[in-house]
Structure 1
Amino acid sequence: MNHTDPAVAPPVAPTRPRHSVLHGVRRSDDYAWLRDSSSPEVLDHLAAERTFYDAATVHLRPLIQALAEEMSSRLPPTELTVSWQRARFSYYTSTPEGSEYPQLLRDLHPSDRSQATDSVAKAVIASDSVDHTDAQFPQVILDPASLADGSAYVDLGYRIVSPDERLLAYAVDRTGEEIFALQFRDLDAGVDLPERIERSYYGGAWSADSGSFFYTVHDGLYRPYQVWRHDIGTSVGGDVCVYEDLDEQFEVMVRGCRSGDVIVLWSQSRDTSEVWLVDAHDPTAPARCVEPRRKGIEYHCEHGRTPDGDVLFVVTNDNAPEFRAMTTPLAAPGQAQWEELVPEAAEERLERVEAFAEHLVLRLRRGGSPLLRTVPLHACNQAVDIACSLPAGTIALDRNERFDATEVTVVEQSYTEPPAWYAVDLRSGERRLRRRQEAPGYEPSRYRSERIGVASGDVEVPVTLVHRCDTPLDGSAPALLYGYGAYESCDEPEFDPALLSLLDRGVVYAHAHIRGGGEGGRRWWLTGRMEHKQNTFTDHIAVADALAAGRVDGDRIATRGLSAGGLLQGAVFSQRPDRWRAVVAEVPFVDVVTTMLDDSIPLTAGEWDEWGDPRRAADFAWLRAYSPYDNLPSAGGRPDLLVTGAVHDPRVMVWEPAKWVAALRATDPDWSPRCLFRCELGEGAHTGPSGRYARLRYEAEVYAWILFHLLAHP
C-alpha cells in the first residue's frame, strides 16, 4: 500500500563493498561506509531519508494532528504524583497545564516532625536552624523547562535531595546522548552552586552529612566505569575517584541505602556482579568489597538493622537460579558469613529486597506478574503478599524514602486502568487509596485487559490482550502485536493515553511476553539469550499465528518493537514476511554480527554475554543465522516497513537502521518506496522525544502510519 508522491523517490545509498572472512565465511557489506555518521556525506544521506519520510507521510498529517489532540486531551490539566516524605519536607511532582516536564516541589509537614524514629531523620530535624515561617509553600525546587537552554530535549538522569534537605543534586542531558551535566542547588536560597560536573551518568548518593556526593562517570564508549566523590564547596578538579573497573564487560553504579548509613557501589556484567560499600558517615574511607566476583554469580545488597545489629540483606543466585535472600553482618559481609533468610522458590523470581526499620518488602515475580511481599523482621514466617488487584495489571513500590516507615506507597495500573496509588500497612497489608490519576473523558468500563497463554513449542507464552468491549475477538478485527524479549527486562502493562486512540478505532492490542525477557523469571531469560535467541523470534511468530487462528484478522496484523525489540522486528520481518501487514522497527539493533565484532563502539563488550561473541565460531554461527542485515527476505511479498533512528542515540548507532534500510531497498526496488526511515537529525534519545506532549506527538505519527495500513478509513 503506497501513497507516496511518485515524483518523490526514496534515497539510494551508493554501494561500496567491503569484504571480510571470519571462521571460513566470506561476508560482503555494501554499506559499511554509512558507519561514519559524522561525515557530511552520511549526514546528507540521513537528511535525505528524513525528507523522503516527511514527503511519504504528508497524507497522514490530518490524522496525526487528530490523534495528537485526542491523546493530549486525556492528560489531566495538571498532572500530580503522590508525595513522598523526608524528615523536614514532603516532595512531589506537578506537571502544569501546557508544560512538557514535571516540576519537583516540596512542602512542609510539621505534624510529622516530632514522630521521626530513625537516626538520620532525628539528626536532620535537630540540625534544622532555618526559619521557614515566611517561606511560601509548596516550593518549586526544580523546573526542567527552565533547563532547556534552547534545546528541544531535556532529560533528568536523577534528582536527589541531600539528607539535610538543603541541597539538590540533579543531572541534565540536553541532546539525548545520555551525557549528563551534574549540578547542585541550594534549596534554601534557590540558586545553583558554582561547581558543575560536565560528564556524568545515571546514579548518585549523598554522604550522611550532606557534604559529599558520589556519582558515576562513563567512558568514550558510554560504559560507566568509575565512581567519583565531590565535596560540596570545592573545585570539581579536586574530585576523588573512589572506584574504577577496567573490565570492559562490567558497568559501575552507585546508590544510597534507605537507612542513610551505607553507600552501595556495584559492578555488573550480564551475569556476574560485585558489590563495594562506603560508610556514609565516613565518606573519605576506602570502599570495601563484600564478596569478590565469581563468573555467573550475581548478588545485590541492602543495608538494614536487626536486633542482632547492622546487617546486609543479600539477594543472590548462588545455588539458587531464581534467587534467594541471605543475611550477613555489615562488619564482616563476605560470602562465608551468609545465612539464608528467604529460600529460593522455583515458581517465583526474587528480584530485590527493600529494607525498612521493622520490615522487609520483597519484590518478586510469580506467574508472569509482579508481586510484593512484606516480611516482619521479628517474625519472618508472618509474610503478607500484596498482589495487583487489576486483571492483567501490574503493581510496584512507589518512592518510599523513610526508613522508619510503617506503611509504604504502592502503585498499580494496567493498559486500561490509570495509575492508582495506595498506602499499604506493612504489618497487615491493608490498603488505603491515596490518589487515582485523572484521565479526562476516559471510561475504563468500555475496555478490557486480559491475559491468555499461547503455545510455542514446549512452553506457554503469556500474552496481554487489550481491546474495546465492543470490538469482537472473532477474527474480524485488526491487531497490533508488541514485543521486546531481552536482558530479562519486563515491560509492564502501564496505562498509556496514546493506546486508547488505537483501541477506539477497533484495533486489538497484544503484548507478547516472549522469552528473553524476565516475565517468566530467570529461566525465561536464559532460554531466550545466546544460542537460544531464536526462541524469542519463534515465540513472537507463534503468538501472531495463534491470534490469527480465530481471534483477529490474520491479514491485518502489524508488529512493533524498539531497540532489542527492533531486532525482534527485523528478525520476524525476514523469517515470516507473509505474516505481517506492517512492521515498525524502532532504533533496531539489526547489524548484529558487525556490531558484536566491533568493541570500539558503545556497549559491544558488555553485550557479549547477552548475544554472543562472534570471535567464537559457535557464537558467530548463531548470530549470523538470525541477524536481519545478513538475512534479508526475498524480494516480493514484503510488508510495509517503518524504521526509526536517531543521530544522537548512544545505544543503537544510527548507521545500523540506515544500512539495513539501504540494503532492503536495493534488493527489492519495486517495494522500496514502502520502506520509510524516520531519522531524528536533531536532539532526541534512544527512546524518542522528551516531554509528555512531544512524546504523544511521536506516538501519533507511528499510530497514524499503523492505522493507515490496518484500516481502510482510519
Structure 2
Amino acid sequence: MQQPPVARRQPTLRERHGESFEDPYAWMANRDDPDLLGYLEAENRWAEERTAHLQPLAETIYEEFRSRIKETDLSVPVRHDRWWYYSRTIEGQQYPVDARVLLTDQPERPSLEGDAAPAGEEVLLDQNAAAAGHDFFAVGASEVSPAGDVLAYAADLAGDERYDVRVVRIATGEVLDEAVRQTGGSLAWSLDARYLFYTRVDEAWRPHQVWRHEVGTAQDGDVLVHEETDERFFVGVGASRDDRHVIIAIGSKTTNEYRILDAAEPLGEPRVVAERRQGVEYDIEPVGEHLLVVHNARRTNFELAVAPITCTSHDEWLPLDVTSEDEYVTGVDGFEQFIAVSLRREGGTAVRVIERSTTSSAPAGLGEAHDVELGEPLHTIRVGTNAETSTPTIQLVWESLVTPRTVIDYDVATRTSTILKRQEVLGGHDPGDYVQRREWATAPDGARVPISLVHHRDTPLDGTAPGLLNGYGAYGISSDPWFSVLRLSLLQRGWVFAIAHVRGGSEMGRSWYDAGKLEHKGNTFTDFVACADRLVEGGVVAADRLAAEGGSAGGLLMGAVVNLAPDRFRFVHASVPFVDALTTILDPSLPLSVIEWEEWGNPVEDAAAYALMRSYSPYENVTGKAHPALLVTTSLHDTRVYVTEPAKWVAALRWADRDRPDARPILFRTEIAAGHGGQSGRYDQWRQWAWETAVLLDMVTPAAPE
C-alpha cells in the first residue's frame, strides 16, 4: 500500500439543543457493516507494512520480556477450609492452571517441585484445556462450593464480556451443568450448592437482574431474584468471606444499595441493608454478627461504621471514628481478631489494622489501631487474598516503581511481616539501579498535581532523556505506582517513565475525583498538560522526546490533549480510546451510556452538558492542524468502547491530514480476537506489548542504538 486507507464518507446530520454536527462516519456505528470490517483490515495491513522494519526490534523486546519472566511459576497458596488454593503457570502455555492441595498432605504452603506441580495437587480448572479451540478465553468468576466439592466458573470466549457458566465436580471433572449462558459474569453459591446465583444483562448489556439456578436443570426454569429497572444502576452478586451470605450489590456512579440473603435459605427474599439515597455510596463487609459499612453519608472522604447483621436502615449505622476527615477510606476487610481499613492519604495508599477483642466494650470489639509501615515512601499497598476469617495474620501486597510485587504475611499482634513471595526478575534486578520520586506540577487553576516517575540511575536528567507520560483520570480510579518487568526495557534504554495523577482519579482523595468529572472534566486534560510541562521545564525529559499513553477513558485523555496541546508530545498511544464520547453518551441503547451520565453529564436533556462534551470530545474536534505521531489500538469485540469510536477518529484524522505533506504518521491496529483488555493469552499479550514498545521507540528515538 502506497497510501493509508481512506474510509467512506457518508455525512449524517445530528441536531441537538439548537446545534448541528455533520458526522461523515456515523455509518460505522454498524459494526457488522462489511465496509467497516474492510476498513479495519486495510488499516491493519497499513500498520503491518509501515512497521515491517521494526520486526527485529519487536522480537528483541519480546525476548527481553521473556528473559526476565519466570514462566513456570506458582502464586502464593491461600488457605481456605481444608485446602491450599493457588494458580500456577507453565512455560509455553498461555493460561494458568487453578489448583489446590489438601492441608493433610501439605501442612505448610506448597511449592513447585522443580518445575513440577506440588505433590497431591488436585486441578480445579486448567484454563489451557478450557481455552482449546478458542482464540480468546477469560474467566469472569470462579467459585468453589462451600463444601469444596464443586466448581462453577464463567468464561468469556469472544472478548465481549458475556460469560457462559460451567459447573463441574472437582474430583472427577464431570460436567454437572452447562445450561446458564450469556451472563454478566458474577456468581454465588447457596450454602448447600444446590443453587447458583448469577446475573443477566439487558439489551444495552447492563447487568440488571439476579437469577437463581438449580444445578442440573434447564435455564428456562430459573427464578428471578432481583431486577433493577433504573438504567443508571448495575447489579452484581457474590458471597461473604464465610459463605454465610449471598450479597447483591446495586450501584450507579454516585449511589449504592445492598441486599443480603442467608445462603442457607436460598429460596428466601433478599433483605435491603439500607435503602438507596441519591448521592450516598456505601459498601458492606459481613463479619460474624456485624456488618462493617464504608459510606459517605457524612464525609466526602467516607468513613467506617458498624451495624448488626440484620440491619435494614442507615439509622443503624454506628460511626467507629477510626479515620480522620482528610483520609479517604476505600475499603474494609473484617476478621475475627482484627479489621483492616484501606486508605488514601497524601497521594498514596495505606492499610490501618485495628485489633478486636471479645472483652472490649467498644463497638465491634475494636481496640488499638496502627498503620502497616513499609519503609518505602513511594509505594502501593493493598489487602491481598484472605479467605479465612479466623486468621491471626493478613496477606498484604506491596510494590512500587522499583520494587517488584511482593506478597507479605503480616502478623497483627507482633506487627511483623514475612515475605511470602517477591516477583522474580530473571537475570537479576537491583532496585538501587533505579531512582523513583514524586514531582509536582501546577495546573492553570493553581492545583498541585502529583507525578510519580522512575528512571535508571545513570540516565542524565539534563533535558535530553526521552520520556513516557501515562495518564487515566476518570471514575475515581487511581493510577498508583506499580512495578513492571516490561517497563525495564524502556528504563534500561535511558527512558524516564512517569504517571500523571490527574484529577478525575482519587489519588488525593474523593474531592480529587469530583474535581475531574462533569462540569470540571477539563481539569483532567489541563492537569496532564501541566505535568508534561513540569517534566520538560524541570529538565527531566527532552521537549522533543516526550510521549504519552492512556487507555479507555485514558484514551479520551489522549485524544483531548492531542487537540489541546499537540506540540507537547512527539508521540501518543491511545489504547481502546473513548474518543467519540458525545455520540456514545447520546445513545441510551449503548452499553455504559446511561450509567455514565453521572460521570460526564446527560447531554440528551442538558444543553450545557452537551456543549461541554462537544467542546472536548476528540472526534468532534479534529482539525487540520499538526498533531503528534499516533498509535491507536483497539479490539473488535470490545463492549466497553466499541471499535467504532477509534475507527471514526482515525478516519477523521486521516481526512484532515490529506493535504498536509508534513503530517505525522498514524498507525491504527485492531486485534480481532480480543476484548477491552486486549488479547487473553499471556504470550500473545507480550508480543502485542513488544510491538507497541517497538513503535514507541521508533517514533521517539529512531536512531537509538539497540
- Whichever residue aligns with residue 537 of structure 1, its letter is F
* Structure 2 unaligned regions, length at least 5: 108-117, 358-364
Any conservation in 2 of the 1:300–1:314 contact (CA below 8 Å)? yes
Farther-moved stretch of structure 1 (580-589 vs 455-464): 455-464
- Whichever residue aligns with residue 273 of structure 1, its letter is N
Tell me, what secondary structure is at the counterpart of 2:260?
Answer: strand
Which of the residues 206, 211, 230 maps onto 1:247?
230
Which of the residues 296, 314, 318 maps onto 1:335?
314
Please state if 1:495 is matched with 2:467: no
In the other structure, the counterpart of 1:179 is 162
- Whichever residue aligns with residue 502 of structure 1, its letter is L
Could you list the per-position Cα deviations for residues 89-136 of structure 1 after superposition, in whole angstroms to 9, with x for gaps in the alignment?
1111110111211111101112899xxxxxxxxxxxxxxxxxxxxx96
CA distance in 2 between counterparts of 1:450 and 1:391 reads 9
Alignment of 1:603-682 (within 5 A): 603-615=592-604, 616-635=606-625, 637-669=626-658, 670=660, 674-680=665-671, 682=672
Could you list the per-position Cα deviations for residues 57-105 of structure 1 after superposition, in whole angstroms to 9, with x for gaps in the alignment?
1111111111111011111131211011111111111101112111111
CA distance in 1 between counterparts of 2:663 and 2:232 reads 39
Any conservation in 1 of the 2:168–2:177 contact (CA below 8 Å)? no
- Whichever residue aligns with residue 435 of structure 2, its letter is R
CA distance in 2 between counterparts of 1:448 and 1:140 reads 42
Shift of residue 25, structure 1, vs aligned partner: 1.3
Which of the residues 353, 356, 380 maps onto 1:377?
356
In the other structure, the counterpart of 2:687 is 697
CA distance in 1 between counterparts of 2:176 and 2:469 reads 48
Any conservation in 2 of the 1:74–1:439 contact (CA below 8 Å)? yes
Shift of residue 394, structure 1, vs aligned partner: 1.0
In the other structure, the counterpart of 2:95 is 101
In the other structure, the counterpart of 1:120 is none
RMSD: 1.8
Task: Kindly report structure 1 stretches of 4+ aligned residues shifted beyond 4 Å.
Answer: none
Classify 1:389/1:80 alpha carbon distance in 2 versus 1 (closer, same or farther; 3 Å).
farther
Any conservation in 2 of the 1:94–1:103 contact (CA below 8 Å)? yes
In the other structure, the counterpart of 2:451 is 463
Alignment of 1:341-420 (within 5 A): 341-342=320-321, 345-378=324-357, 380-420=366-406
In the other structure, the counterpart of 1:42 is 36
Please state if 1:583 is matched with 2:572: yes
- Whichever residue aligns with residue 88 of structure 1, its letter is R
Tell me: higher relative CO, structure 1 or 2? Use CA pairs within 8 A at least 6 residues apart: 1
CA distance in 2 between counterparts of 1:388 and 1:420 reads 11
Tell me, what secondary structure is at the counterpart of 2:654?
Answer: helix
Shift of residue 524, structure 1, vs aligned partner: 0.8
Could you list the per-position Cα deviations for residues 426-449 of structure 1 after superposition, in whole angstroms to 9, with x for gaps in the alignment?
233321111222110132232222
Shift of residue 528, structure 1, vs aligned partner: 0.3
- Whichever residue aligns with residue 62 of structure 2, its letter is A
Shift of residue 452, structure 1, vs aligned partner: 2.1
* Structure 1 unaligned regions, length at least 5: 1-6, 114-134
Which of the residues 428, 444, 449 maps onto 2:414?
428
In the other structure, the counterpart of 1:514 is 502
In the other structure, the counterpart of 2:547 is 558
Shift of residue 199, structure 1, vs aligned partner: 1.2
- Whichever residue aligns with residue 383 of structure 2, its letter is L
The count of aligned residue pairs is 682
In the other structure, the counterpart of 1:64 is 58
- Whichever residue aligns with residue 340 of structure 1, its letter is P
Tell me, what secondary structure is at the counterpart of 2:196?
Answer: strand
Please state if 1:110 is matched with 2:100: no
In the other structure, the counterpart of 1:119 is none
Could you list the per-position Cα deviations for residues 496-550 of structure 1 after superposition, in whole angstroms to 9, with x for gaps in the alignment?
2211111111111011111101211211100000000000001100000010012
Tell me, what secondary structure is at the counterpart of 1:253?
Answer: strand
In the other structure, the counterpart of 1:316 is 295
Could you list the per-position Cα deviations for residues 536-567 of structure 1 after superposition, in whole angstroms to 9, with x for gaps in the alignment?
00110000001001211011100000000000
Which of the residues 49, 53, 57 maps onto 1:55?
49
TM-score scaled by structure 1?
0.93
CA distance in 2 between counterparts of 1:390 and 1:533 reads 33
Alignment of 1:130-149 (within 5 A): 137-149=120-132
In the other structure, the counterpart of 1:294 is 277
- Whichever residue aligns with residue 46 of structure 1, its letter is L
TM-score scaled by structure 2?
0.94
Shift of residue 358, structure 1, vs aligned partner: 2.2
CA distance in 1 between counterparts of 2:392 and 2:559 reads 49
Farther-moved stretch of structure 1 (85-94 vs 446-455): 446-455
Which of the residues 206, 220, 227 maps onto 1:223?
206
CA distance in 2 between counterparts of 1:390 and 1:95 reads 30
Shift of residue 10, structure 1, vs aligned partner: 0.7
Please state if 1:533 is matched with 2:524: no
Shift of residue 191, structure 1, vs aligned partner: 2.5
Could you list the per-position Cα deviations for residues 450-491 of structure 1 after superposition, in whole angstroms to 9, with x for gaps in the alignment?
222222232221111011111122211010000000000123
- Whichever residue aligns with residue 174 of structure 2, its letter is V
Which of the residues 180, 197, 203 maps onto 2:180?
197
Tell me, what secondary structure is at the counterpart of 1:202?
Answer: strand
Tell me, what secondary structure is at the counterpart of 2:2?
Answer: coil
- Whichever residue aligns with residue 470 of structure 2, its letter is Y
Shift of residue 231, structure 1, vs aligned partner: 2.3
Shift of residue 355, structure 1, vs aligned partner: 1.0
Tell me, what secondary structure is at the counterpart of 2:408?
Answer: strand
Any conservation in 2 of the 1:323–1:344 contact (CA below 8 Å)? no
Any conservation in 1 of the 2:628–2:664 contact (CA below 8 Å)? no
Farther-moved stretch of structure 1 (576-585 vs 669-678): 669-678
Tell me, what secondary structure is at the counterpart of 1:656?
Answer: helix
In the other structure, the counterpart of 1:130 is none
Farther-moved stretch of structure 1 (91-100 vs 569-578): 91-100
